Structure 1
Amino acid sequence: MASISKNPSLFIVILSTLMSITFSASVIEDLKNLKPPQDFNATITSNCLQNPTLRYCTSYPMDLDEIFKFTIVGSHLCNESKNPNCVESFPKIDLRSRPIIAPLYLSFSFFWKYCPLSILSIDLSNSSLKGSFPTDLLQCTQIQALDLSLNELSGEFPIESFSPLNNLTVLNMSYNHFLESEVSESEFFKRFNSSSFLHSGLLPDHKEFRIKLVFLLVGFPIFVILVVGCLGWVCLQRPDFLPRILRTKHKFTPSMLKAATNGFSEKNLVGKSEAVDIYRGTLRDGTEVGIEIYWNNISKENRRKFVEESKVLVQLCHKNIVQILGWCDKRRFRAIVTQWTEGQNVQTWLLGSNPPWKHRLRLMMGVVEGMCYLHEKWPDVGYDLRTSSILLPNNLEPLISRFKIEDHISSTKTFTSLAAIFDLLIYISEIYKLGVFLLEIITNRRPHEEFEGGEAGFIDYVRMHYPGNLQKVMDENMKLTQNGFDQAKQVARLGIIYTDQTSNRQPSLTQIFDVLSKAYKSFTVLASPNHKRLHGDRGKGNKQIQSNPSIYKKLDTHESYC
């Protein structure tokens, strides 16, 4: 080897030792089995006296075992690199395309520590080297060529470690995976050209840069448009996905209602008429709602009125008025969203449950309470007061559920009197509806189905039997006591008065509420076993009205809520 060629005695000793074993033995076996000859120390000392530039001569104290291993590895490596005469010359290390043994020789750090000065070229290309840059190679500071291309080296590239390699003129780091650094701007790069670093990660890839630039200039705006579009869709179509603070209160969209009703499925359709479909649905937050959908197309002005009416209805807040949660307004799709009421309407309740008088009293009280609230707080809000439109939840607290905002005449100074007259007419109309409602509760009859003249025929029928034969028109399922009959008769009298449109008398809602309230509070007398019923089996003793105590507890609760 060149590093020890000036001291052939050392090399002859090593060579003769290696010749004593088969050439098929691996370098690992040689390092394990061979020991330094007895005069190895003297040989090394003699070599250093003759040539002090040898690298192992500068290490103190000398590690003879390490130096001996260096000579063994050097001999193997010289042969593996196909140098023509390893005794006299060791100019290159050529392990290209040797993925099995290249990492082995790189692991011998003691060899690179004492790297022979004769080595001018190192080629470890295409050897499947992985991990960080093998900096031990750079201890061969005299080399003129280094090729580590076509490997899988990664991490930082040690530019500053190359500074001692003043003789390096050929460098190839192409096709690796180093982290990008400012090699192109350093003095180190000026010694070579860009072909030394192709696809190494050290230089900006202009093609990749152009792709990134195209993506930045084209892809990013598209991405922004998509994000804005998605956010816009959420805001306009599904605002229920937004935080509650960002939502428009009380306003629903067709997409929200479609999702709530499972695509307006037949399973969720609970009512249908020519003008409106009624669905049961569940909002995204789990709230169960009733949805009244109007499919007819209306003018822009009527749509504006619909929204204004809805803004009023969502403010209604009373225990006897169904809670309006919001509305939906589109050109051919309008809807009112209300709280879902588990139960039935009053008409169905009367027909199927045969409720006693006390329950009917409580029902009428609740309806009148709701009317008082609307009359005092929201006089512009009209309502449909029929047994089919009054809802009765499982707690038996009636709910007025159908509303209409009346188109009042302007209440400016010029039209103040006309507006007052208009309000009075509306009030009289509502009182008339209440009168019909009271008579329906007492008689359990359906005016529009059972009487030829509708409500007028029904009212005439009751008047014809009042007062002397009123017992005949009352619902016998109430099973009234004498006291209960007197109370029902008084309510019937108010119903007849309220339906008398020829009278100039202006009845009061407070009056009927007081009558109903006193009757309800005195029901302990009505339920007393000392009172006989006017209907039922009189000859078998006097029986109390039977009912569910839990229901009575609910009925006895008398307070408004919001």
Structure 2
Amino acid sequence: MATIFSTCYLFLPMILSLFPTTLCATVVEDLKNLHQPPGFNSTILSNCLKNPSLRYCSSSPIMDFDEIFKFTIVASHLCNESKNPNCVESFPKVDLRNRPNIAPLYLSFDFFWKYCPFTIMSIDLSNNSIKGGFPTDVFFCTQIHSLDLSINAFSGDIPIQSFSSFTNLTFLNLSYNYFSESKLSDSQFFKRFNSSSFLHSGALLDQKRFTVKAVVLLVCFPILVIFLVICLVWLCFQRPDFLPSKLQRGRRFTPAILKAATDGFSKKYLVGMSDVVHIYKGILRDGTEVKIEMYWDDIPRDSYRRFVDECEVLSKLHHKNLVRVLGWCKSRKFRAIITEWTREENVEMWLSGSGSPWKHRVKVLMGVVECMRYMQKEWPEIDYELDTSSILLSDKMEPLISRFKVGDHNRNQRKIHRFGIFLLEMILNKKVEEELDGGDAGFIRNMRNLNHGDLQQMIDERMEVTETNFEQVKQALSLGLMCIDESISEKPSLGMILNSVARAYKTSLVLPSANHRTFKGHMPLQTN
């Protein structure tokens, strides 16, 4: 390998003559300013003819003389920096340990490593804090016996397969770096050396760190599992509303859910109360507004079981004219029914207010009858209240039956009677139920014998009854009287009531809303 340095030696005086001082600048500045001396190319070609094994002679497709020239300069500098005894004849080592200012510089000259002299047997770049990946350019120096990259900041994977080209390598030190963990111990590469070559390199599993990790894993993992189980149990039994809908426990609410929905049963959410029941407006986690009726009475266990059974049945009711029962809750101190939130206005309040024309009242009647038909067909065992104080109104003026009870199957006649009272109170300006305390026969007889003037006084004037809709009002009154008349052997069926109210509702939708003169004359009510 003396030939390449002989080449450098031949031209060195000529190169030095280009500078006022002997190579005082950095290597990078040297390479920028130096130019090939005359005859350099011919000398390189002559060298290749004499010794074709030189690395730069095998470059293809043609030799890059500029790169070869740079190589000779860097090789000369590096040979001197590495304190080789005779750089003209021999270059046995690259020794840049403890040289953090220049070691990264020489690593950056890839053309030097490409033409790495065959004489180099040892490369030492230790203790330089060099960062980045493994310096793969050193693999061009396939003949080396020793490689020391310890005490640096190399990271990433070690290219284990590339080490196969280092057939003469007997000493390797990669210790104290930050390489990625890999299965070195299972490879043939690792068997060529021992663990001292990889101390704290990051490539091998550190036993101390492994012990710490194992202890942490063995201690923390069971604790984590126990914590997760406790959290899951707490969620299931206290806050199931945090679980996916498929994992929630149906319609059963917990005290914790109700407490969260009412901000700890805050007074600002309290909308009504008595000695036995507190009524709250609550907001569930999904934003649903609910009404919470909390009963503080102490009931026996069997009564509570019946309460739960009734709630399960009521929560299955679905109709646009029913207040939805969303679920129930039990606690040591209270039991609760949770329903959808509705306006607090009921029909009685609505009738006592201003402006409730006939067509709106017929709409309310239509909704009540449709709901009664649904309950008769689907849930005949459930009783419900039909009076103006228990039927609420939605924002769209839809009636909502709000009070239920799982009762007797055979109470249809009683429901017809209550609907009759409700219908009459929707038309008349008095509480019909109070009038019936003295017996319904007298009340019915008086209503049927009223002349037009007396009847007009009995009808709620806020309906603005006109000549156009008076006949509808009169037929509705007759239907109501038939529903409460106990002397009739067969009261009107629910189907007949539905047909009558439906006809009145359809007619009210097409009648003009302008007032017409009131119908004059004696118009007795008929029962047919």
Deviation at 1:272, TM superposition (A): 3.4
What's the C-alpha RMSD, in Å, of the aligned pairs?
A: 4.7
Matched, 1:108 2:109: yes
Paired AA for residue 193 in structure 1: N
What code does the residue aligned with 1:100 have? N
Given the alignment of the two structures, is residue 194 of structure 1 paired with residue 195 of structure 2, yes or no? yes
Please report the TM-score for the alignment, with normalisation by the length of structure 1. Answer: 0.71
For 2:400, the equivalent position in structure 1 comes to 399
* 1:75/1:464 CA distance change after superposition, 3 Å: same
Greater CA deviation, 372-381 or 357-366? 357-366
**How far is the alpha carbon of 1:28 from its aligned partner?**
2.6
| Counterpart Cα distance in 2 of 1:402 and 1:116 | 100
Is contact 1:237–1:255 with CA below 8 Å preserved after alignment?
Answer: yes
Residues 261 and 268, structure 1, Cα contact 8 Å, conserved in 2: yes
**Of 458, 461, 467, which residue of structure 2 is paired with 1:474?**
458
Match of 1:344 in 2: 345
Cα distance change of structure 1 residues 467 and 142 upon mapping to structure 2, 3 Å threshold: closer
8 Å contact from structure 2 (residues 483, 491) kept in 1? no
Gaps of 5+ in 1: 409-422, 535-562
Paired position in structure 2 for 1:497 = 485
Q: Secondary structure at the match of 2:172?
A: strand
- 1:123-202 alignment, distance < 5 Å: 123-202=124-203
2:497 — aligned with what?
Answer: 513
CA distance in 2, matches of 1:431, 1:181: 85
**Aligned counterpart, 2:10:** 13
Deviation of 1:73 (Å): 1.6
Q: Please list the CA deviations of residues 124-171 of structure 1 after superposition, one character each: whole Å capped at 9, or x if unmatched.
A: 123233333223323334434321112232333233443454553332
Identity within the alignment, %? 52
Contact 2:123 2:146 in 1 (8 A): yes
* Alignment length (residue pairs): 506
Q: Does 1:529 align with 2:517?
A: yes
Shift of 1:195: 1.9
Work out the CA distance in 2 between the residues paired with 1:96 and 1:474.
114
The residue aligned with 1:312 is 313
Shift of 1:294: 3.3
User: What corresponds to 1:322 in structure 2?
Assistant: 322
Cα pair 1:362 1:520 within 8 Å, conserved: no
Tell me the amino acid that sits aligned with residue 327 of structure 1: G
Distance 1:175 1:169, change over 3 A: same
Q: Which amino acid aligns with 1:386?
A: D
The alpha-carbon deviation at position 327 of structure 1 amounts to 0.9
The offset of 1:493, in angstroms, is 4.4
Structure 2 CA distance for partners of 1:71 and 1:358, relative to 1, 3 Å: closer
Structure 1 381/106 Cα, relative in aligned 2: closer, same or farther at 3 Å?
Answer: same
Tell me the SS of whatever aligns to 1:157.
coil
CA distance 1:532–1:262, shift in 2 (3 Å): farther
Is residue 456 from structure 1 mapped to residue 440 from structure 2 by the alignment? no
**Residues 73-84 of structure 1 correspond to what in structure 2 (within 5 A)?**
73-83=74-84
What displacement does 1:56 show?
5.4
Quick one: distance in 2 between partners of 1:317 and 1:291?
19
Q: After TM superposition, list the pairs within 5 Å mapping 1:338-377 onto structure 2.
A: 338-342=339-343, 344-353=345-354, 355-356=356-357, 360=361, 363-364=364-365, 366-375=367-376, 377=378
Residue type at the aligned position of 1:497: D
1:106: Cα distance to partner? 1.8
Q: Distance in 2 between matches of 1:38 and 1:514?
A: 118
Residues 195-245 of structure 1: CA deviation (Å, up to 9, x unaligned): 211222321222333344345434444444455555555555555555555
Q: Which amino acid aligns with 2:94?
A: I
User: Secondary structure of the residue that 1:353 maps to in structure 2?
Assistant: coil
8 A contact 1:254–1:328 mirrored in 2: no
8 A Cα contact 2:366 2:502, kept in partner: no
Instruction: Judge conservation of contact 1:129–1:151 (CA < 8 Å) in 2.
Output: yes
Query: For 1:192, what is the secondary structure of its paired residue?
Result: coil
Q: CA deviation at 1:306?
A: 2.0
The CA deviation string for residues 267-308 of structure 1, in whole angstroms up to 9 with x for no partner, is 554443333344445556665544434344544323321222
Provide closer, same or farther for how the CA distance between residues 447 and 265 of structure 1 changes in structure 2, counting only shifts above 3 A.
farther
Amino acid at match of 2:107: L
Contact 1:254/1:333 (8 A) holds in 2: no
Q: Which runs of 5+ in 2 are unaligned?
A: 523-528
Counterpart-to-counterpart distance in 1, 2:391 and 2:458: 21
1:2-24 Cα offsets, whole Å, 9 max, x none, are: x43x8996564344345433231
The amino acid of 1:474's aligned partner reads: M
**Contact kept in structure 2, 1:142 and 1:167, CA below 8 Å:** yes
More displaced 10-residue stretch of structure 1: 427-436 or 51-60: 51-60
CA distance in 2, matches of 1:157, 1:457: 104
Q: Is the 8 A contact 1:174 1:195 kept in 2?
A: yes
What is aligned with 1:31?
31
